[in-house]
Chain A
């Protein structure tokens, strides 16, 4: 422990010294992490690459770049527009939250986050009902004939779905800005508008860029919304789906998936290494001084106008979901009915329990792996750690479609290592655990990145000397980690669990290829209902799922409060 910390503070040290004293426990943890990363990312992705590079896969790739360019071009266009809209709105929501003063801020915060904790088509279906060609608002109220199917609808729906990510990212950065900078600018005579454009925006650029890139990848990978709302607008993700689900042509699908993978990885690298380096915000822990609210009407009025409009849209859409669950066919036959909930109770109860138990397994496992990776990165292998950090983050860089297809390819058959079967089949209905293990694997892979980020941030702020003290008093590395390190970063761990749970319960794109008869997942049940056009059932399902996510979040938050209170007491 001592030596590694020394190495951390003095990187010019001879490397020989650092390896000598390393506790076997550290190697054990490293082994667990490496095996997990190979299992969760390495094997699926390499299988996918292998399948994509077969003649059939290559033919699909060639076709996508020559004869049939539309899906590729459409995907890029969609990604750019969603990223642009989502980042702008995310920034405005965050700006209002941090710099403006108005009533109902807390409520606004939760409303902004609502799309994040709800299943992917909640927004799409509500949108069709309210704003579609025969939407309640667009047609019945305003008499417009507005077609939602296609690019226009997809951009709005995907931007709504992913704006919370941008909002969280940008808000965190705005909050971390040192208020003294604004004070200084003001003292030097800058107007609030000038400060916004010349101080705030330049400083928040890394977060804007990061959000833009994240949203781009998410939008390009999204599979469910184009299936429901695509119209004649074909994108790569839905082409992948039709290749697999319609033609059973896994190689062609893998080829198309590779096209998605490359830009996603590129974007991820840019974001992680270039944007992060551009950061002008120093993590000092607590910003000094206090912020003064922005009051210039030239800023507040337009910002609040957008915020109000966006919030109204969220309220209308989620209102439609709530009402739609208890109406026969919202907009066509508005009779109150309990039939949709009865349908969910009859058909969905197994899906609800299955989804819940898989989440309950996946979220803590994801958080544990996140902690182990963070611990290795921050405390044990500061240099090699960057590789580990990168590998762990891959879970967010690999598009969901790609990851899911990779899992199907890698685990539908037993895994063999040098002629010995080391794993039985894990994906598909005939596998051990009837496919649940593969789904949990996907959940874990998707849960690690955010958890890892939050634990690394938290661990970097804990002074290593506290742990060194424990070690020099004779505690083993394992004991120190358990009794000293972990309690200190408890909130970050709970955040990791919370995020992992939310993500697991609402994911569809990544699991669509590995759901099985015996393992019914709520999100895929919802897709079935949406796809078949039975919106009422889908609305009821969505409401139930949102309720469940809120309960899970509530329980974790309560735990978080308990832990922090105990610590401060």
Chain B
């Protein structure tokens, strides 16, 4: 009898569990609204915190943020929308990608007109509010031990002495990782096979593909790797924070640059607040704050204050960055990277 009861209960629970699985058609899923603003922030934690606080102080709109890599934001949007109202930071191509998937609500900010064309999307999908470039962040002490100079070319990274001495961000989670991929792709004239081939060679030298962009810089700063593929802004920032052995160089053949973008997300519970955020971040007052945060990324407004140690962007040799193409090829490249490069590592 008891075993029967047990069996019956087990059957019942299974049935309940299974039948509870799906919502009926036409279920009421009306979006709730909120007075608070939720920001998905794809910058460094301290920058997110100060900018959010400054926005709150300037507008009185209570705001919270979560720091997530650009890839992580895209993934989160995939599983649920409405969690965030506005996406602040991360490369423009990722915002474009989000728009392709229907997660962005275009909005042309009243302040977008002051931006250079390269820093703004005419259709209002995204607007750029900071910019920096991909560079090499090297630990001079470690390089000296290896008998190398700071790399000045992408091919320098393939030097056999650098085996296990390079750090790079994972393209799936960090926008920087994908930027490195797409930069090489642009330099190789759009040849995907040649690009993957380069990263297969680089793979021998890479110690770890880190989850976030800033990780590699810190690893180089502590001397755990000699070179990190990093944002120039992060490299200077770490150097000023006490990692004085760090040296920033750029590849002579050209490098990718990031337009840090802001966009308004679908199902926002506070769309009004999101628009206000976008307006605000495109003002001189907001971008003047970068110099005191301190963020070493350059503002996109020409008249905003430039911090003393911010890497000057106009002297960097850049590749011809096609945001549209970068967005279109992202999935393909990340899959190819995961299947062919990252999985090259042998079982130990």
The chain B residue sitting closest to A414, CB to CB, is B23
Q: Which of B22, B208, B342 has a CB less than 8 Å from the CB of A416?
A: B22
Within 8 Å CB of B72, what residues of A?
245-246
Q: Contact: B27 with A329, CB < 8 Å? A: no
- Given A232-B208, A329-B243, A518 and B2 touching (CB < 8 A)? no
Most chain-A CB neighbours within 10 Å: which of B67, B71, B72, B75? B75
Within 8 Å CB of B342, what residues of A?
234
Among listed A189-197, A525-533, A561-569, interface-contacting one:
A525-533
Q: Contact: A533 with B208, CB < 8 Å? A: no
Within 8 Å CB of A381, what residues of B?
2
Q: Contact: B20 with A43, CB < 8 Å? A: yes
Q: Which of A231, A242, A533 has a CB less than 8 Å from the CB of B172?
A: A242
Among listed B191-199, B220-228, B254-262, B278-286, interface-contacting one:
B220-228
Among listed B76-84, B112-120, B147-155, interface-contacting one:
B76-84
Q: Which of A37, A77, A246, A383 has a CB less than 8 Å from the CB of B348?
A: A77
Contact with A along B326-348 (1 / 0, CB 8 A): 00000000100011001101111
Query: Does B1 sit at the interface, judged by CB under 8 A?
Result: yes
Query: Does A132 sit at the interface, judged by CB under 8 A?
Result: yes
Q: Contact: A15 with B1, CB < 8 Å? A: yes
Q: Contact: A242 with B20, CB < 8 Å? A: no
Q: Contact: A429 with B38, CB < 8 Å? A: yes
The chain B residue sitting closest to A246, CB to CB, is B172
Q: Contact: B83 with A517, CB < 8 Å? A: yes
Q: Contact: B13 with A421, CB < 8 Å? A: no
Query: Does A328 sit at the interface, judged by CB under 8 A?
Result: yes
Query: Does B24 sit at the interface, judged by CB under 8 A?
Result: yes
The chain B residue sitting closest to A129, CB to CB, is B222
A143–B237 Cα distance when bound, in Å, is 29
Query: Does B16 sit at the interface, judged by CB under 8 A?
Result: yes
Query: Does B308 sit at the interface, judged by CB under 8 A?
Result: no
Query: Does B310 sit at the interface, judged by CB under 8 A?
Result: no
Within 8 Å CB of B6, what residues of A?
383-384, 387
A408–B269 Cα distance when bound, in Å, is 21
The chain B residue sitting closest to A533, CB to CB, is B218
- Given A50-B21, A387-B6, A528-B67, A147 and B164 touching (CB < 8 A)? yes
Q: Which of A133, A250, A333, A518 has a CB less than 8 Å from the CB of B243?
A: A333
Q: Which of A38, A46, A329, A415 has a CB less than 8 Å from the CB of B242?
A: A329
A294–B207 Cα distance when bound, in Å, is 47
Q: Contact: A421 with B206, CB < 8 Å? A: no
Interface residues of B in 200-247 (CB under 8 A from A): 206-212, 214-215, 217-219, 221-224, 241-245
Q: Contact: B38 with A422, CB < 8 Å? A: no
Within 8 Å CB of A62, what residues of B?
none
Please report whether the interface of chain B is mostly helix, strand, loop or mixed according to DSSP. mixed
Query: Does B300 sit at the interface, judged by CB under 8 A?
Result: no
Q: Which of B75, B83, B84, B210 has a CB less than 8 Å from the CB of A248?
A: B75
A328–B79 Cα distance when bound, in Å, is 39
The chain A residue sitting closest to B44, CB to CB, is A532
Within 8 Å CB of A532, what residues of B?
44-45, 212, 214-215, 218
Q: Contact: B74 with A248, CB < 8 Å? A: yes
User: In the complex, what's the smallest C-beta–C-beta distance from B160 to chain A, in angstroms?
Assistant: 17
Q: Contact: B75 with A430, CB < 8 Å? A: no
A92–B336 Cα distance when bound, in Å, is 48
Within 8 Å CB of A233, what residues of B?
345, 348
Q: Contact: B16 with A534, CB < 8 Å? A: no
The chain A residue sitting closest to B39, CB to CB, is A517
Within 8 Å CB of A361, what residues of B?
none
Query: Does A179 sit at the interface, judged by CB under 8 A?
Result: no
A250–B80 Cα distance when bound, in Å, is 12
- Given A15-B1, A250-B79, A416-B20, A245 and B173 touching (CB < 8 A)? yes
In the complex, the 10 A-B pairs of residues with the closest C-beta atoms, listed nearest first: A533-B218, A246-B172, A248-B78, A248-B75, A429-B83, A333-B242, A134-B223, A15-B1, A517-B66, A232-B345
9 more A-B contacts (CB under 8 A) besides A38-B17, A149-B207, A429-B82? A42-B16, A68-B339, A77-B348, A149-B224, A227-B211, A245-B71, A247-B334, A418-B19, A532-B44
List 27 A–B pairs whose Cβ atoms lie within 8 Å, in order of A's numbering: A42-B16, A46-B17, A46-B18, A68-B343, A70-B343, A70-B347, A128-B222, A133-B223, A139-B223, A233-B348, A245-B71, A246-B72, A248-B76, A343-B46, A383-B2, A384-B5, A412-B79, A414-B23, A416-B21, A416-B27, A417-B20, A430-B269, A516-B66, A516-B83, A517-B38, A528-B45, A534-B45
